[in-house]
Amino acid sequence: MRLRSVGEHALLLDCADPEQVEAVRAELWRRRETGEVTAAEIVPGARTVLLDGVPDPALTAALLADWNPAETGAGPSAADTAEVLVPTVYDGPDLAAVAEHWGTDVPEVVRRLTDLRFRVAFCGFAPGFAYLSGLPQEWSVPRLASPRTRVPVGSVALAGRYAGIYPTESPGGWQLVGRTDMQLFDVAADPPARLTPGTRVRLVPT
């Protein structure tokens, strides 16, 4: 893990892989809850974690310099113990293509996705769009060769080793496997995004 200064009050942690990102993010949230780390925001990405609003970046960097999150034994934070059940209708136009890619049939695709326990790795692309980790490497799914110009709100989709749910109508190149009526982003809510990093997610058939 490499630490870099970003501006006057932020640090960027470069991680080796998504698994280390999740370990770092979870431990930083726990340390912020205990007051050991002070940061206004802790923002995970695909291979980085940003600490923004850090009063003393040099001090925080020194605290983290020799830290190995894999060796910590602290319990999970409240965000990490939350679970959201997303009612999902599995009728997406790309279900058959995913089944063919996985070398199986559509009912087995639905069973696998229903049994998986996802976790929000990070958010991006659009407000409220959560990248859900949990797909095994062998179930990685390619993006569409040509993105759709319109993906309906609530579409449940796969790309690479991630699942995602479109919080608003938008263009998109992910493989669509289902849909949900759950509202994922509300600017008047606190927080506005229904799915935040660390949250566990299940795509429950309905």
For residue 129, the domain's CATH number is: 2.40.100.10
Provide the number of structural domains found in the chain.
2
Q: How confident is the model at residue 74 (pLDDT cuts 50, 70, 90)?
A: very low
Task: State residue 70's pLDDT score.
Answer: 61
Task: State residue 80's pLDDT score.
Answer: 56
| Domain encompassing residue 22 | 2-77
Dist. CA 114–CA 176, nearest whole Å: 15
Same domain, 9 and 27: yes
Q: What is the DSSP letter of 71?
A: G
Tell me the CATH number at 51: 3.30.1360.40
pLDDT at residue 32 tops 70: yes
Dist. CA 24–CA 43, nearest whole Å: 11
| % of the chain surpassing 70 pLDDT | 93
Region 103-123: what's the mean pLDDT? Answer: 97
Query: Mean pLDDT in the chain?
Result: 91
C-alpha angle 175-176-179 in degrees, rounded to nearest 5: 155
**In the chain, what is the straight-line distance between the N-terminal and C-terminal CA atoms, in Å?**
42
Q: How many CA atoms lie within 13 A of 37 on its CB side?
A: 27
Task: State residue 160's pLDDT score.
Answer: 96
Measured in degrees and rounded to the nearest 5, phi and psi for residue 52 equal: -115, 150
Same domain, 121 and 181: yes
Single residue among 60, 77, 94 that ends a domain in this structure: 77
Same domain, 64 and 145: no
| CB under 8 A, 24+ apart: contacts of 114-117 | 114/202, 114/203, 114/204, 114/205, 116/163, 116/202, 116/203, 117/200, 117/201, 117/202
Region 74-97: what's the mean pLDDT? Answer: 81
Q: What residues contact residue 188 under an 8 Å CB cut-off, 6+ apart?
A: none
b/e burial code for range 161-192 (CB count within 10 A of at least 16 → b): bbbbbbbeebebebbbbbbbeeebbeeeeeee
pLDDT at residue 71 tops 60: no
- pLDDT tens per residue across span 154-202: 999 999 999 999 999 999 999 999 999 999 999 999 889 999 999 999 9
Question: Could you tell me whether strands 48-52 and 41-44 are parallel, antiparallel, or unpaired per DSSP bridges?
Answer: antiparallel
Same domain, 69 and 105: no
Same domain, 73 and 87: no
